[in-house]
Amino acid sequence: MKNRALGPFNVSAIGLGCMNLSHAYGAPVSREQGERVLLAALDAGVTHFDTAALYGFGVNETLVGQVMKPHRQKFTLASKCGMQGVDKGDGTKVRVIDGRPETLKKTCEDALRRLQTEVIDLYYLHRWDKQVPIEDSVGALSDLVRQGKIQAIGLSEVSATTLRRAHAVHPIAAVQTEYSLWTRNPEIAVLQACRDLGVSFVAFSPVARGFLCGPLDIAGFDAKDIRRSMPRFAPEHHAANLRLLPAYNALAHEAGCTPSQLALAWLLHQGQDILPIPGTTSVEHLLDDLGAVDVQLEAYLLTRLGALINQHTVSGDRYNAQANSEVDTETFA
């Protein structure tokens, strides 16, 4: 496994997004299957594991803590606060965005307990709570750094302007945002801002939420699959996007790799400061993804690939109106 810098840390070029094991893409996997995936990643050289308080409303952090505690010194642990589940009073939880300093500090205490660790290496503000100045939220995270509870601060789904404001309060180690061939929003401004400030860029959903891995049965998506609310997977947009896949798969064949590896290799070729974190519930898919570190793409193929799938050729927005209102990321006109 090749390595890259993640803020002050040296980690595997491809990390593991742990969300899929507990959240968002249907029923969570069993603890045994989650353990298989996590340990297979570690055995394969992955040293960057990414979770969040939101994922399964704490279940994912608990899983990571239970499985990975014996191996804590072998990897860099990232988690997130500012978006979590709040008990409605009837035994169920609802997702809320809350960036108040007292909430972030409490969430960190809960995370440390669930993760069974004394310190979280990289702690992100999962979403900027637009009711709270970013300076206040980052100030609270900087308190946690001083207290030794976290080592570095990250931000997720923020604009270049917000990043610069936050960085003026405390150095930001990493920005995490959706980035892939079919989601190019970071290219508008925040990716350049990261480079100006020396901030690493972590790309989530790097294989386009599974679209670039192979055929998807959208009619068979679980009732709780978040893709059901995403415009690109609505039947009319999905049908249009499917027309891109034959040429895309042909490019993967030309490159001598799988479709998933092509998507990840494209990201790795966008800069040494970019770290993809694909997620999966399958050891087979995990090992396929990790093979992307060895895929070398010629300049002409990168050009053809970028021209085939981009913001102009993909049909549908990445988020619905509600989700778009919750992020601070720049958008294309």
- At 271-301, the pLDDT tens digits run 999 999 999 999 999 999 999 999 999 999 9
Tell me, yes or no, if the pTM score tops 0.85.
Answer: yes
Q: Which residues contact 308 (CB under 8 A, 6 or more apart)?
A: 244, 247, 248, 251
pLDDT at 26: 87
d(CA 265, CA 316): 24
pLDDT on residue 198:
98
Please report the pLDDT score of residue 132 as a whole number: 98
Please, how many CA atoms are within 13 Å of residue 292, restricted to the half-sphere of its CB? 30
Q: Within the chain, which residues score under 50 in pLDDT?
A: none
- At 215 the pLDDT is 86
- CB distance 178 to 185 below 8 Å: yes
CA distance 66 to 123: 19
- Rounded-to-integer distance, Cα 48 and Cα 6, Å: 9
Place of tokens 């297979």: 40
Residue 292: per-residue pLDDT:
98
Q: Which CATH superfamily is domain 3-210+268-296 in?
A: NADP-dependent oxidoreductase domain (3.20.20.100)
Token pair listed for 181: 């061939």
Q: Report which of 268, 254, 276, 261 is spatially closest to residue 214, judged by C-alpha positions.
A: 261
Beta-carbon contacts of 298 under 8 Å, excluding residues fewer than 6 positions away, are none
Residue listed under structure tokens 């040494």: 272
Q: Which residue has the tokens 């570095």?
A: 152
Q: Tell me how far apart the alpha carbons of residues 57 and 77 are, in angstroms, rounded to a whole number.
A: 18
DSSP-derived pairing of the beta strands 83-87 and 76-81 = unpaired
Residues with catalytic roles: 55
Cα separation, 250 vs 180, in Å, equals 18
The predicted pLDDT at position 154 comes to 99
> If DSSP codes are grouped into helix, strand and coil, which group holds residue 113?
helix
pLDDT of residue 88: 81
Rounded to the nearest angstrom, the gap between the alpha carbon of residue 211 and the centroid of all alpha carbons in its chain is: 16
pLDDT per residue as tens digits for the range 164-210 = 999 999 999 999 999 999 999 999 999 999 999 999 999 999 999 99
List phi, psi (to 5°) of 248. -65, -45
Which pLDDT value is given to residue 96?
Answer: 96
Residue 148: what are its φ and ψ, rounded to 5°? 80, 15
Residue 214 pLDDT: 85
Q: Quick one: pLDDT at residue 72?
A: 97
